[in-house]
């Protein structure tokens, strides 16, 4: 099956010689869902942000949707990747002065030069898919956090990406809103969307992940199926982490 993400010995060093990514080698194939877990500061967000050029790296190899990225951070390649890769952040990053519909259609119209009518039809379809079609004419401040995050997912989908990245998409939400966002992501997994999800939501990871990648101190400690990781993790550090989060 085609590789959508491939890294080899990826290194990213911050100040004082701290390695945020310490020779990371991994692969995500088409239609796979990879859940990335690990303690705070383990390098999870840094890793996922390299996948669409939001973070540079110092050395190693990185290929996203068949496009190579190098440590020189070629801007042309970064732009091509961002046209084909969607990302959803912890904070919703919606434009407060634009309606929900305008937030979703902005990039398709400006970046992909889509016809406005077609872009709006697709946006309404996505809002329907997210269960919030009635909110199209409202503004972000009029929506709950869970609704805003579902808008952010619809916005990422509007560019018809080959890969979706989620950086702790439920961490800024009230507990009662977490489920509706995870349901939306679960629905995408069922449709075969290739995804990398950084999350601490164990139940979600058990149900949706094809693979769980566990990081600590910038290193990949373990990559396992959910069945193995959550019931019989290979590495002692993995087991300690699971005990700490009560799993």
pLDDT at 14: 87
pLDDT tens per residue across span 31-73: 999 999 999 989 999 999 999 999 999 999 999 999 999 888 8
Q: What is the pLDDT of residue 184?
A: 92
Cross-strand partners of 34? 196, 211
pTM above 0.75, yes or no: yes
DSSP tag of 51: T
pLDDT band at 24 (very low <50, low <70, confident <90, very high): very high
The full set of domains in the chain, from first to last, is 3-94+162-244 (3.40.50.300)
Tell me the CA distances in angstroms from 230 to 26, 167, 168, 186, 219, one per residue in order: 20, 21, 19, 19, 19
Q: How many CB atoms are located within 10 Å of the residue 180 CB?
A: 19
Distance CA 227, CA 95 (A): 40
Q: Residue 3 — φ and ψ, nearest 5°?
A: -85, 130
Q: How far apart are the first and last CA of the chain?
A: 32
Whether residue 57 contacts residue 137, with contact meaning beta carbons closer than 8 Å, is answered with no
Backbone φ and ψ for 173, nearest 5 degrees, come out as -100, 150
Cβ–Cβ under 8 Å, residues 36 and 195: no
Task: Please report the pLDDT score of residue 247 as a whole number.
Answer: 60
Q: Cα–Cα distance between 81 and 4 in angstroms, integer?
A: 11
Q: What's the confidence (pLDDT) of residue 72?
A: 84
Examine the pLDDT at 17 and tell me if it is beyond 80.
no
Q: Which residues of 58-95 are buried (b: 16+ CB within 10 A; e: fewer)?
A: eebebbbbebebeeeeeeebbebbbbbbbbbbbebebe
pLDDT digits (tens, 9 = 90+) for 87-144: 999 888 899 999 999 999 999 999 888 999 999 999 999 999 999 999 999 999 999 9
In the numeric block, the tokens 């069922």 are attached to 190
Mean pLDDT across 164-183 = 90
Which pLDDT value is given to residue 176? 85
Q: Which of 219, 214, 213 is nearest to 22 (CA)?
A: 219
- Dist. CA 58–CA 215, nearest whole Å: 19
pLDDT tens for each residue of 206-238: 999 999 999 999 999 999 999 999 999 999 999
Unique residue bearing structure tokens 């190579």: 68
């Amino acid at each position: 099956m085609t590789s959508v993400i491939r890294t080899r010995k990826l290194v990213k060093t911050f100040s004082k010689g701290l390695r945020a990514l310490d020779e990371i080698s991994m692969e995500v194939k088409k239609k796979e869902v990879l859940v990335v877990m690990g303690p705070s500061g383990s390098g999870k967000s840094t890793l996922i942000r390299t996948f669409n050029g939001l973070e540079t790296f110092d050395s190693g190899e990185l290929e996203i949707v068949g496009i190579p990225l190098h440590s020189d951070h070629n801007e042309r390649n970064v732009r091509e990747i961002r046209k084909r890769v969607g990302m959803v952040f912890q904070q919703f990053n919606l434009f407060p002065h634009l309606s929900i519909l305008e937030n979703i259609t902005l990039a398709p119209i400006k970046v992909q030069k889509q016809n406005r009518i077609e872009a709006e039809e697709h946006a309404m379809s996505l809002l329907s898919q997210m269960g919030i079609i009635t909110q199209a004419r409202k503004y972000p401040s009029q929506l709950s956090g869970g609704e805003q995050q579902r808008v952010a997912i619809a916005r990422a989908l509007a560019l018809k990406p080959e890969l979706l990245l989620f950086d702790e998409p439920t961490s800024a939400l009230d507990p009662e809103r977490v489920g509706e966002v995870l349901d939306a992501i679960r629905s995408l997994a069922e449709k075969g969307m290739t995804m990398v999800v950084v999350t601490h939501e164990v139940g979600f990871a058990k149900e949706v992940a094809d693979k769980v990648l566990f990081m600590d101190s910038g290193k990949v400690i373990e990559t396992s199926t959910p069945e193995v990781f959550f019931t019989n993790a290979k590495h002692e550090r993995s087991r300690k982490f699971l005990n700490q989060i009560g799993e």
